[in-house]
Structure 1
């Protein structure tokens, strides 16, 4: 039974949640949460590391105790510490922490006073008015809970793209080993690189007699077989992800791939174009009357309605068909276009690797440059830098660059935007940097006008270079800031500064629609990983997926520029 990084991360997250509800030591809780985040985001499989007898304690923040628990989870799917906690508290209590307005203390009160242990019980109690009578709750919180329940159910049914990948890619590899299988493609929202995935659609072509359907339903992570047939089977994996497998003839493969990749709106629009030419387009092919005239490739489907190939990430019916018809489809950015990373942390603050290790890892990826951007002093939990410590790091970077390592290290900072729009560090030290990445890390609930004015005021600082994770959202955890993004983007254009697309799988922020807006307004976007360890550079692929969804070309992305051009743009932004 394979245990994925996401499975281990879930165990540690549940332990942390249950400990927090019990009011345990916050440092112990934080250790589990940090381990959970680290493991879920690792670019390599923990299970494979254990098979190779690699020392897990070499991972940042993983000591002997946590390493032992990881081994236990990989071997059994759980660990004794979690099972002990589950006997003390209902495990469903942790789901209540995902509801807006509920923290550990309130969850504990709900359980103690009303015996509420599930979202369903919570909804019923709120609907009956029982919650508002509890101490430290009130009618406002009760109303918030009622409004959040529907969104909570929808959210829980979806997986973050990077988490879905941990289950989808091994399954794809497994299917490719089955005798007679020729081709395996994951379609659906996964192929469109959507930030969350509801289920997985897999298409296969295979020789007649291939045991692909039997082997699929026998996959060791299948928890339930929902249906099974000669051309289609549906299963539910242990993690809760539903997978549909379709056996498709080669003659229909392109039509099926198009049908099961595009959004509903995109597919309807393509079918209407076909109808105008008296064609019928469906998952089986392109038909004139009862005769299939094409459909073996996706290109042939598009050609049948006089369109060029439209990349999967663009198939949302947000203007891509009109652009294709007019010959104005963008040449979307690719990961090979990236020349460096402009948002990277080291262990000088809350990163896990040294400056030299982060630089060497960037060089190994073929990057020309990497920007070191620690947190500023306001972020005390991350040991943010004050002016004195920042100047010390500036000197360290200068000494590193003098060694001519084959990569240029840019001096930067991720500085907090304070509530009044001022930056967390004085201009006297910001002036010594190559770039200043500015971010909102507090006061997320300001009204739209004040939040927008806060960011616009920050952008007036001459050293403001890049607006980091502009909406501040955390996927499935925290909604975006109330911001007038058009005003922010136009201010960036006026100032000559830039926006970030943060590639971390929990952020993917800038949102795709805002990427497209920035492109239309002529504002360059930096696709950066916000790496806190050498392995986090792997996040770039998710940022590129989001950039492609936002129609960005290489010319629209700041860090596709060579070093000389980048330095010219950074200096121009600071001189504005």
Structure 2
């Protein structure tokens, strides 16, 4: 008979909750199973002991009906109710939930609205652009689904976007931190350094009982294959093709291990060279005095840098790009923080190809603590994105002005105006002059030669009404190369005309990239970190743009939407 520990029992209850949600059952019933799962997951005693003592009813959050099912599961090793639920739901719906981002609610929507009951049908619907017709979903949803399906079909082992890496890492961290034997757990590697494309996901766990953590980890429902199982390192392949390396270390080794496995290798080598010069040895096991092997206490990464006589270097800067020398000389930038954004200046509503209303965008912005946002729907030539005619643009401005009277948050009127093939903007100057924020961007003619593309962008930079150039290189990571453009000339002109360049925070773009961001900073060019969100959930992707900004050494003074509203408006007016 199969044996169940606390975590395994919690997974059974979570599966029941997911299947009930696919069926569209009562939300309170679903939440009862989810609550019970969390209660059992966090028990400080073994559930089998409570079962033997007939105390399952005494678990807070577990009612009579669920307790009876737990008795059946623990006494027989099976649960007829779960088996019945599995039989009532097309297997393809459950398989869909292996696609990153597809949960029970979304799977049910696909089934009920489009009759989709298999991965193949889901792929066909996404390629046929049918998903975007569903409430709350857009073209970005389709793209993410297709990427996820490709990973499932290929078995993965390729590089993934930063967004997917953090989605996986956050989920696994929440799970690991719930285990009673885990003292500390953090993401390491290139994910923590916020690189734009990720190979394997690295996680470091501090624990006194690595065997127990390993035993539960390899049984996680998303684990497809165990690639390696040692005493300090577990490597697994998840069902959608991502490899995860779990490092298990003693709690007193956690911070030096986290630092070591965060990397980069080049940064670590530079630190070891400095440590050697001052009589210190540093590795994943700790910090030691070379002459006596005496351990130097470390209770955080800051202690490592302090022991080496350096200012703390954030993970995003650890690429051996001069950060160690800057720390030695007290020249490290005070890079922007993940809570420093005051607003988002590139957002799309359902007036063009966005999913949500302006009111819904405002509500999300308030939840995020923003002072302001800009509504920047597509311009008239982009018919595929339902670009706004001049009449609809005027109508939208009137709607925003009326909404502004009811809201404390500042709603800037704006537009993402296409830079046409001849370099003209998609609206005449008198229309652009009416807007609080004008974004210029290229959405067509990607195959023009380098000189032509460059001149198009420079033409927009020179236009006094264009405030920001969006996604300046046009790339889609892993899907579309940057178009041919002379970025040195773009930077030169942006600096001359005081035009802002964008870091597009979509993990599919991250455009400008970190190297260009650093170059822009050195030339005094201001940056806007925007999401280009077409769905309100995508507004949270701002974290990836911030990560790119930090990798480019940006400080608050470099990023216009870290400024308060009055300072931003003065800049836009006087630039």
Q: Does 1:423 align with 2:458?
A: no
Cα deviation, 1:397-436, whole Å, max 9, x if unaligned, reads 22222x2411121111101112222111111211111121
| Distance (Å, rounded) in 2 between the aligned partners of 1:41 and 1:216 | 20
508 and 325 in structure 1: CA distance in 2 versus 1, 3 angstrom threshold: same
Structure 1 residue 162: deviation in Å?
A: 1.0
- Mapping 1:50-129, distance limit 5 Å: 64-66=112-114, 69=116, 72=117, 78-79=118-119, 81=121
Partner of 2:161: 160
Partner of 2:329: 326
Structure 1 residue 292: deviation in Å?
A: 4.4
- Mapping 1:409-420, distance limit 5 Å: 409-420=411-422
Cα deviation, 1:223-261, whole Å, max 9, x if unaligned, reads 111121222211111111111111112332222111111
Structure 1 residue 321: deviation in Å?
A: 1.0
Partner of 2:454: 452
- Mapping 1:163-174, distance limit 5 Å: 163-174=164-175
Partner of 2:510: 508
SS in structure 1 opposite 2:440? Answer: strand
The answer (yes or no) to whether the contact 1:200–1:243 under 8 Å persists in 2 is yes
Specify which of 547, 564, 570 is matched with residue 568 of structure 1: 570
| Distance (Å, rounded) in 2 between the aligned partners of 1:40 and 1:210 | 27
- Mapping 1:236-315, distance limit 5 Å: 236-287=237-288, 288-289=290-291, 291-294=293-296, 296=298, 297-315=300-318
| Distance (Å, rounded) in 2 between the aligned partners of 1:40 and 1:178 | 23
The answer (yes or no) to whether the contact 2:184–2:251 under 8 Å persists in 1 is no
Specify which of 323, 338, 343 is matched with residue 341 of structure 2: 338
Structure 1 residue 197: deviation in Å?
A: 1.0
Q: Does 1:489 align with 2:491?
A: yes
Partner of 1:14: none
Specify which of 350, 353, 356 is matched with residue 350 of structure 1: 353
| Distance (Å, rounded) in 1 between the aligned partners of 2:514 and 2:98 | 24
445 and 429 in structure 1: CA distance in 2 versus 1, 3 angstrom threshold: same
The answer (yes or no) to whether the contact 1:349–1:375 under 8 Å persists in 2 is yes
The answer (yes or no) to whether the contact 1:179–1:211 under 8 Å persists in 2 is no
**TM-score normalised by length of structure 2:** 0.74
| Distance (Å, rounded) in 1 between the aligned partners of 2:399 and 2:244 | 50
| Distance (Å, rounded) in 1 between the aligned partners of 2:457 and 2:432 | 18
Structure 1 residue 461: deviation in Å?
A: 1.1
The answer (yes or no) to whether the contact 1:178–1:211 under 8 Å persists in 2 is no
Q: Higher mean Cα deviation, 247-256 or 426-435?
A: 247-256
The answer (yes or no) to whether the contact 1:180–1:210 under 8 Å persists in 2 is no
| Distance (Å, rounded) in 2 between the aligned partners of 1:83 and 1:566 | 43
| Distance (Å, rounded) in 1 between the aligned partners of 2:316 and 2:99 | 23
84 and 311 in structure 1: CA distance in 2 versus 1, 3 angstrom threshold: closer
| Distance (Å, rounded) in 2 between the aligned partners of 1:209 and 1:473 | 43
Structure 2 unpaired stretches of 5+: 1-10, 16-96, 126-149
| Distance (Å, rounded) in 1 between the aligned partners of 2:478 and 2:262 | 23
Partner of 1:18: none
Partner of 1:183: 184
Cα deviation, 1:159-216, whole Å, max 9, x if unaligned, reads 1111122222211111122222111111000111111110011111112476111111
**TM-score normalised by length of structure 1:** 0.74
| Distance (Å, rounded) in 2 between the aligned partners of 1:353 and 1:218 | 39
| Distance (Å, rounded) in 1 between the aligned partners of 2:214 and 2:462 | 60
Partner of 2:362: 359
Partner of 1:471: 473
Partner of 2:386: 383
The answer (yes or no) to whether the contact 2:157–2:241 under 8 Å persists in 1 is no
| Distance (Å, rounded) in 1 between the aligned partners of 2:422 and 2:123 | 47
440 and 209 in structure 1: CA distance in 2 versus 1, 3 angstrom threshold: closer
The answer (yes or no) to whether the contact 1:179–1:210 under 8 Å persists in 2 is no
Structure 1 residue 332: deviation in Å?
A: 1.5
SS in structure 2 opposite 1:472? Answer: coil
| Distance (Å, rounded) in 2 between the aligned partners of 1:157 and 1:319 | 30
The answer (yes or no) to whether the contact 1:499–1:526 under 8 Å persists in 2 is yes
The answer (yes or no) to whether the contact 2:503–2:530 under 8 Å persists in 1 is yes
Q: Could you list the runs of 4 or more consecutive aligned residues of structure 1 that deviate by over 6 angstroms after TM superposition?
A: 39-42
| Distance (Å, rounded) in 1 between the aligned partners of 2:120 and 2:99 | 24
| Distance (Å, rounded) in 2 between the aligned partners of 1:40 and 1:478 | 26
The answer (yes or no) to whether the contact 2:224–2:239 under 8 Å persists in 1 is yes
Partner of 1:47: 103
Partner of 1:148: none
Q: CA RMSD in A?
A: 2.8
| Distance (Å, rounded) in 1 between the aligned partners of 2:373 and 2:212 | 49
SS in structure 2 opposite 1:239? Answer: coil
The answer (yes or no) to whether the contact 2:189–2:261 under 8 Å persists in 1 is yes
SS in structure 2 opposite 1:306? Answer: coil
Partner of 1:462: 464
Partner of 2:236: 235
280 and 536 in structure 1: CA distance in 2 versus 1, 3 angstrom threshold: same
80 and 504 in structure 1: CA distance in 2 versus 1, 3 angstrom threshold: closer
SS in structure 2 opposite 1:455? Answer: helix
| Distance (Å, rounded) in 2 between the aligned partners of 1:201 and 1:344 | 33
- How many residues were matched structurally? 453
The answer (yes or no) to whether the contact 1:40–1:163 under 8 Å persists in 2 is no
Structure 1 unpaired stretches of 5+: 4-38, 73-77, 86-117, 119-152
